[in-house]
Chain A
Amino acid sequence: MTPLSRLVGVFGELLLTLGALVLAFVAWQLWWTDVAANASQREAVTGLERTFADQPADQPLARIPTPKPGEAFAVLRLPRLGTGYATPVYEGTDKRTLTQGVGHYRGTALPGEIGNFAVAGHRMTYGGPFRMMEELRAGDLAVVETVAGYAVYRLGPSYITSPDHFVALEPTPEQPGVAPTKASITLTACHPKYASTYRMIVHGTLAHTYPRSQGLPADLARQLGLPAGPTASGKATTAPTTTPTTKAGR
């Protein structure tokens, strides 16, 4: 074998190896990240529910402490996407945070607070919490649970826009410079799936809040696959809050 043909052989093998690694990356991204994230996000929701149940239940909803970057601090439920649909909300929207669940845009309002509670989530890979986002219809509910209770938002229609449409995150969504008078929610995700050319966005406004001590009304709790709140079920104890999570898993 001449040195040249040996060199060509090694080069060919390197190319084959590179091709195999690219295939492995695609398999990892499209399949394995979902497998890993589904398990870890369910675990995160369970952990959050346990933490919430252990806390004293007398905080006003919009007065929860500002979460630290990367901290899981809320559970988002979208009953349209399934009775048991629950995804953890982390503080921050950097790529690493979004691999864990839904990310809260730093500096935007907290759940139930006047202003815009804005979150971003994947529609594919890493568990794809917003995979079925196109199924959301105007009038659907988005329920955000924090340590202090539940903020129930009523969603408007979704729309497709460009990635630099950051006015969606303004305290009054879409209206820069307008002081907020309402508590809003904003969900953002990529569009179309498997690409990042556009963004899909849904806004909503706060319809109800339920402090933890009161719990959810029975019909809403049923929609979310959760046990009804202590007052709704006629019991004065807070004991039922220790078990909601096993039913919340997808």
Chain B
Amino acid sequence: MYAALWRHLPGPTWVRALLMLVLVVLVLAVCVQWLFPWVADVVPFNEQTVEAPSSVRSVG
């Protein structure tokens, strides 16, 4: 997979390495901006509130 990507990148080795680095940074940026906050919303690891079971919820 990564070998194929490497072969398809243009230019000499240092240009390819630079492009790879840019791609990695891009992927991480997308993760931090959108993916990670979404995951943090969905996983039940970080709850701070007390809540009623939804059937008897009064406040919350």
Contacts and interface: CB of A to CB of B under 8 A. Distances in A.
Contact of A10 (B1, B41, B59): B1
Given A24-B28, A105-B59, A169-B60, A189 B36 contact: no
Interface in A7-61: 9-10, 13-14, 21, 24-25, 28-29, 32
Contacts of A124: 46
A166 B60 contact: yes
Interface residues of A, number: 44
The size class of the interface chain B forms with chain A is: 20 to 34
B50 A163 contact: yes
A201 B13 CA distance: 58
A163 B47 contact: yes
Given A29-B36, A122-B46, A166-B58, 7 more contacts: A10-B1, A13-B2, A21-B31, A32-B32, A118-B59, A163-B51, A190-B47
A240 interface: no
Best-buried of A29, A108, A125, A165 by chain B (most CB within 10 Å):
A29
Nearest to B41: A95
Contact of B1 (A13, A99, A108, A161): A13
B1 A28 contact: no
A130 B48 CA distance: 10
Given A29-B36, A95-B40, A125 B46 contact: yes
B31 A25 contact: yes
A196 B44 contact: yes
A99 B53 CA distance: 23
A123 B47 CA distance: 10
